[in-house]
């Protein structure tokens, strides 16, 4: 058994123990579950909104929903998958409240090549030598992401910022993998057009 797989199995067993204890009303176990995943949830939220206050609001709502729903959690999926599905739903709901008028037409198949180029550009924006250049690039990237529809933005950030596979994103968002691919295709082309002067 590989070290990575062994670590994954150990993590899953810890989750199962904490879940069972939390279901019995052990608040210490629930707090430990929160501690194990809070940074990931906050990171996803922060990628999805522009305001740190909004990210904190999303974070709090996610774990409130988890606390309320945990007694009904049937262990049919990994706890992390279930948690991140709740996170994506809260993020999408939060964004839709602010931009109900935004709708996207998705008519094409995905092309991962453009996304890879964009991911490199975004990563480079975080390692530029001069602060002014980083700030300017970050501003353009932020505006480009803000212009996407909620689901396009979520798919793009989960793929290129968080490193999830399309299959994992589809499971978390409760969508078909083909739908996720189409969201990613449109998102990458929209951002590519927005950042064409920077790439």
Q: Do 81 and 126 have their domain in common?
A: no
Parent domain of 156: 112-194
Burial 101-139 (b: 16+ CB within 10 A, else e): eeeeebeeebeeebbeebbebbeebeeeeeeeeeeebee
Q: Do 46 and 117 have their domain in common?
A: no
pLDDT one-digit tens code per residue, 96-110: 665 443 333 333 334
Q: What is the DSSP letter of 148?
A: S
Among the three residues 98, 124, 149, which one is the final residue of a domain in this structure?
A: 98
- pLDDT of amino acid 177: 93
d(CA 146, CA 150): 9
Q: Do 128 and 182 have their domain in common?
A: yes
Average pLDDT, the chain: 77
Q: Do 94 and 7 have their domain in common?
A: yes
pLDDT one-digit tens code per residue, 57-85: 899 999 999 999 999 888 888 898 899 98
d(CA 149, CA 63): 25
Percent of the chain whose predicted confidence (pLDDT) is above 70: 70
Q: Do 38 and 86 have their domain in common?
A: yes
**pTM beyond cutoff 0.95:** no
CB atoms within 10 A of CB 39: 9
CATH number for position 70: 1.10.1740.10
């Amino acid at each position: 058994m590989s070290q990575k797989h062994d670590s994954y199995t150990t993590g899953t067993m810890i989750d199962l123990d904490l879940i069972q204890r939390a279901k019995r009303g052990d608040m210490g176990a629930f707090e430990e579950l929160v501690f194990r995943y809070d940074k990931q949830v906050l990171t996803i939220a922060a990628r999805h909104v522009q305001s740190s206050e909004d990210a904190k609001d999303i974070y709090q709502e996610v774990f409130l929903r988890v606390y309320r729903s945990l007694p009904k959690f049937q262990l049919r999926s990994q706890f992390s998958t279930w948690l991140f599905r709740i996170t994506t739903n809260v993020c999408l709901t939060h964004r839709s409240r602010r931009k109900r008028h935004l709708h996207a037409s998705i008519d094409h198949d995905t092309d991962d090549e453009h996304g890879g180029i964009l991911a490199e550009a975004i990563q480079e924006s975080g390692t530029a030598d001069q602060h002014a250049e980083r700030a300017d690039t970050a501003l353009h990237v932020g505006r480009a992401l803000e212009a996407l529809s909620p689901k396009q933005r979520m798919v793009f950030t989960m793929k290129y910022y968080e490193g999830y596979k399309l299959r994992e994103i589809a499971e978390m968002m409760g969508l078909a993998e083909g739908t996720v691919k189409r969201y990613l295709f449109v998102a990458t082309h929209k951002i590519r057009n927005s950042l064409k002067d920077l790439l």
